Amino acid sequence: MSGSPYVSESAGLKRPRAVGADENLINTEYSLASNWFINGHRNKITVDLSWLDAEEDDETASELLFRLQWDLSI
């Protein structure tokens, strides 16, 4: 880990490594998820869609994330 308290993100903004590291950074996340249960609760598919907004000083970046997860209990 370098001496810098920031990491680069794909949206182009620098984000702090630790929570509370920078008071000038504002992150907002909106998420929507849905579950499909197959065979009771033993087999589940989850779809998650998130919109992320980040603002730091005068810079702004947004990112859309999609996640598909399969939970199989045996």
Tokens of 51: 């919109």
67 or 13: which leads in pLDDT = 67
- 66 within some domain: yes
H or E, element range at 33: strand 25-38
Assess if residue 65 is contained within a domain.
yes
For tokens 């009771």, name the residue.
40
Expressed as residue numbers, the domain containing 32 is: 24-72
How many independent structural domains does the chain possess? 1
Whether 18 maps to a domain, the answer reads no
pLDDT (tens digit per residue) in 4-44: 444 445 545 455 445 555 566 678 889 999 999 998 888 99
Residue 36 inside a domain? The answer is: yes
The rounded distance, in Å, linking the Cα atoms of 58 and 68 is: 33
pLDDT at 1: 38
Do residues 26 and 16 make contact, with C-beta atoms less than 8 angstroms apart? no
4 is a domain residue: no
CA distance 1 to 36: 40
- Looking at residue 12, its pLDDT comes to 53
* Domain assignment present for 28: yes
